[in-house]
Amino acid sequence: MSIYTPAVARYFEAWNATDPDALAKAVAAAWTEDGTYTDPLADVRGHEQIAAVVQAAHEQFPGFEFRQTGDADGNHHIARFSWELVSTADGSAPVAGSDVITLSEDGRITSVLGFLDRLPEA
């Protein structure tokens, strides 16, 4: 198992947490205290702001979960992977993207650079 596998698993655990307490714990397990998350819709730092972005995604897409597509690959302390936002009701995936993460020495995320590859039509 690569060093990226557990980090990416914690990342998806955080993105799929809907209970506020579980979300706070999952974000703390996945990111360093001053970790960042940047994508076309957000540019935040720290556990509280990251959790707020995750919560907003669940409010916009209730009944959806984030799923990794393919394997993560990387070098040094940088990894990349792709994902989809999938409806648990019908399996549709209106949103997809790719993320690049940088890991700290303890394996937690210091930064995420997210790219949206597919969005729902307006």
pLDDT tens-digit series, residues 19-44:
999 999 999 999 999 999 999 999 99
Residues forming beta bridges with residue 73, ordered by sequence position = 80
pLDDT tens-digit series, residues 71-96:
999 999 999 999 999 999 999 999 99
The overall pTM is greater than 0.85 = yes
Cα separations in angstroms, 66 against 17, 27, 37, 75, 118: 10, 15, 16, 24, 14
- Give the mean model confidence (pLDDT) for residues 41-55: 98
How far apart CA 116 and CA 57 sit, in angstroms, is 13
Percent of the chain with pLDDT over 70: 98
What pLDDT, on the 0 to 100 scale, is given for residue 88?
Answer: 96
What pLDDT, on the 0 to 100 scale, is given for residue 3?
Answer: 86
| pLDDT band at 1; cut points 50, 70, 90 | low
| pLDDT band at 122; cut points 50, 70, 90 | low
How far apart CA 57 and CA 71 sit, in angstroms, is 23
Is pLDDT of 97 > 90? yes
Q: How many CB atoms lie within 10 A of CB 109?
A: 26
How far apart CA 91 and CA 7 sit, in angstroms, is 25
